[in-house]
Amino acid sequence: MGKESEINGHTVPSSASTDRIVEQGARKSCVGKLAVFLRKNLLVIMTVSGVAVGVGLGMLVRGMNLTKAQMTYFAFPGEMLLRMLKMIILPLVVCSLVSGAASLDTRSLGKLGGIAVAYFLVTTLIASGIGVSLAFIIKPGVGAGSLSLGLESVRRDKETTDSFLDLARNLFPSNLVAAAFRSYATDYKMVAVGNDTNGTTLYQKVPIGTETDGMNILGLVLFAMVFGVALRKLGDEGEELIRFFNAFNEATMVLVSWIMWYIPFGVMFLVGSKIVEMENVVRLVTSLGKYIFASILGHVIHGGIVLPLIYFGFTRKNPYSFLSGLITPFTTAFATCSSSATLPSMIKCVEENNGVDKRISRFILPIGATVNMDGAAIFQCIAAVFIAQLNNFELNAGQIFTILVTATASSVGAAGIPAGGIITIAIILEAIGLPTNDLSLMLAVDWIVDRTTTVVNVEGDALGAGILHHINQQEMKKKQVQQDWELAEIRVEAVANVQAEEETSPLVMHQTKASAVPLEAIESVL
């Protein structure tokens, strides 16, 4: 028997012409699949390529010995990307939180908010534990006592108590307009309080309130959430304003989709300019290599194993397929070192690629970008133990516990900006009584460690949104099943009542008999 081929589902005798048709069809289908794949993942491919090209471009330009001014000009396209992303943060955070809080009923909002806070605290505490454990195992500060890198010292004289009080004050900004570009910070002044017995004037350090540049994102997040709940409580009167914020939010997401096409170009120059600016790289890495290795290993363990296991434990789904849809925001996080700047692309990719409910993603991701700092907690704990080992300072159990708790609590207030965690390390050092003079060492390598830190930060936010979406879906299914069961019971009761009334009710029997009387009889009675 001759060979047979299949065309359009019909088996036909094989021949040269039919074989050619089959091959052309298979080739077209492969080309079509490749075109669909490229169209779907074009932005991801371009962004990853931008990082690779940026590394090569930076190495090429590095040999040209550019002046400081020329380096600034070279970094200009990357600076424009950061400015675009920062520009969109304020409307995105406020509108997404207002519309998200207004779209959820109060009970669901409270439940989801409670789960989110518990998730953020537990994952940050686990991250802190990983950081401390790795620091004691690898011992990055042992043998690094002779470091002399010619670095400037970092001035830090803020009390730990005032740092946490500032966190509380920033939750309730006195001026919402000013909160868009300023935040509260405590400073000190010396006040004369009298003289001692020798006539010498005595001074006391008194805290005073000042304003520092930088968006008070914590206060704006809290206000937007409460304002959204208040709009929902208004009922019909608040619907128009809710629709306004929803429309504003959608328009912002359109702007985000346009900005995302500039990301590959901007990322290329961000990475390239950072490579050009590097100084004494070999010496820095050989001196602080164990600290860099410990930090990056901690991020790999937490981001590659712990967080995916938590996601799998809640959802029973493959976490890596979920993360594969977030390559663009991860690349943006790696290049910008800013959780806040990554927020626009993260919201878009979580919704479009992973199908997370808009109400969940636009409610939880802005909060996560502000308070969830798993990656920061890891490197802050390693840095604290590193500085203790550098100064030959033995940490006891109480101080280790203080590091864990302080790192977890202070990471909430860490700014989602490049090098935002360095100031937070000072809080931990002061809490355990260590000098802050060695913070300049952390600042020297922060540009390396901060990249994996930011990736882990935003990964924790995304997986948290995925977990909340799954829990919300399960609750909705339970409610639907319960409603269907109740409706079925009501239908059964209604049918039973109708049958019983037809059989036994005297009123129905009387009405039936009356309706059976001829029309002529009624007229004759009248």
DSSP 8-state symbol, 417: S
Q: Which of 386, 381, 389, 507 is nearest to 453 (CA)?
A: 381
Torsion sign across C-alpha atoms 213, 412, 379, 157: positive
Band (502; pLDDT cuts 50, 70, 90): low
Residue 29 confidence class, pLDDT cut points 50, 70, 90: confident
Query: Which letter does DSSP use for residue 411 in this model?
Result: G
pLDDT at 521 over 70: no
Examine the pLDDT at 332 and tell me if it is beyond 60: yes
More confident residue, 458 or 85: 458
Q: Which residues contact 166 (CB under 8 A, 6 or more apart)?
A: 184, 185, 186, 413
According to DSSP, residue 200 is labeled: P
List the single range of 217-221, 331-335, 398-402, 493-497 with lowest mean pLDDT.
Answer: 493-497
pLDDT confidence of residue 1: 47
pLDDT at position 472 over 80: yes
Distance CA 321, CA 44 (A): 15
235: left (phi over 0), alpha (psi -120 to 50) or beta: left
Buried b (16+ CB within 10 A) or exposed e, 171-201: eebeeeeebbebbbbbeeeeeeeeeeeeeee
Helices (H), 139-215: 160-171, 176-179
Q: In this predicted model, what pLDDT tens digit does every residue of 267-292 receive, in sequence order?
A: 899 888 888 887 666 666 666 888 88
Alpha-carbon gap, residue 309 to 232, rounded angstroms: 36
| Residues of the chain above pLDDT 90, percent | 23
Tokens 């708790």 locate to 405
Residue 372 and residue 457 in contact, taking contact as beta carbons nearer than 8 Å: yes
What domains, with CATH codes, occur in the chain?
47-149+157-477 (1.10.3860)
8: left (phi over 0), alpha (psi -120 to 50) or beta: left
Q: Residue 520: which pLDDT band, with cuts at 50, 70 and 90?
A: very low
Which of 197-206, 218-227, 405-414 is the most confident on average? Answer: 218-227
Angstrom CA distances, 263 to 52, 74, 336, 418, stand at: 14, 16, 10, 17
pLDDT grade, residue 519 (50/70/90)? very low
Q: For residue 508, what pLDDT band results from cuts at 50, 70 and 90?
A: very low
Contact 376, 414 (CB under 8 A): yes
Average pLDDT (33-54) is: 82
Q: Which two tokens stand for residue 69?
A: 């001014």
Cα separation, 408 vs 379, in Å, equals: 12
C-alpha distances in Å from residue 73, one per residue of 67, 173, 243: 10, 37, 43
Q: In this model, does residue 319 exceed pLDDT 90?
A: yes
Residue 340 · residue 365 · CB < 8 Å: no
Task: Kindly tell me the sign of the dihedral angle through the C-alpha atoms of 130, 135, 140, 145.
Answer: positive
Distance (Å, rounded) from C-alpha 327 to C-alpha 452?
A: 14
What are 259's two structure tokens? Answer: 């900005």
- How many CA within 13 A on the CB side of residue 153? 7
pTM of the model: 0.76
Question: Which pLDDT band, with edges at 50, 70 and 90, does 100 fall under?
Answer: confident
Neighbours of 300 (CB within 10 A): 12
Distance of CA 100 to the CA centre of its chain: 15
Please state which of the ranges 98-112, 363-377, 382-396, 484-498 shows the lowest mean pLDDT: 484-498
Concatenate the DSSP letters of all residues of 359-375 into one string: HHHHHHHHHHHHH--HH
Phi, psi at residue 13, to the nearest 5°? -60, 140
144 vs 70 pLDDT, higher one: 70
- Do 294 and 144 form a contact (C-beta atoms < 8 A)? no
Please identify which residue in the block is written with the tokens 């931990």: 428
Quote the crossing angle between the two packed helices 397-410 and 106-138, to the nearest 10°. Answer: 140
* Integer Cα distance of 214 and 470 in angstroms: 35
22 band by pLDDT with thresholds 50, 70 and 90: low
Q: How far apart are CA 438 and CA 152, in angstroms?
A: 10
**How would you classify the pairing of strands 4-7 and 10-13?**
antiparallel
Whole-number pLDDT of residue 21 = 64
